[in-house]
Amino acid sequence: MKRNQAQLYLNLAEVYATAGRKEDAVEAIQAGLKFARKDVRLTIAMNKLTDRRPPVLTFLNRRHPINRQLGILRHRAMGVLGGQR
């Protein structure tokens, strides 16, 4: 198996997801992203498998500029507080 072939990781993740093994599917996509970072399909698949946080201001649309900016700030704060940075 060639490590840089994103389709192989996508196929493996699909098999895992179909079998109800979501965590394994996420791990397969993460492994694919290590070797084929520029493949957009892997990023799209990862976004479909992972849960999103609710909007900061629930009475506004997720795409509202205020929600987007607050979401960026929350993401940065969670990274610092969570020890990811």
pTM of the prediction? 0.62
Which pLDDT belongs to residue 85? Answer: 44
Backbone angles phi, psi at 30, to 5 degrees: -60, -40
* Residue 14 shares a structural domain with residue 41: yes
Q: Read off the amino acid at residue 57.
A: L
pLDDT of residue 84: 52
Pick the closest to residue 16 from 4, 3, 2, 30 (CA basis): 30
The answer to whether residue 40 sits within a structural domain is yes
DSSP 17-64: HHTT-HHHHHHHHHHHHHH-TT-HHHHHHHHHHSPPPPPSSTTS-TTS
What is the percent of the chain with per-residue pLDDT over 90, rounded to a whole number?
69
Rounded to whole angstroms, the Cα distance separating 20 from 42 reads 19
Q: Are residues 33 and 11 in the same domain?
A: yes
Range of the domain at 71: 53-85
**Tally of domains within the chain:** 2
| pLDDT tens-place string over residues 43-78 | 999 999 988 889 999 999 999 999 999 999 998 998
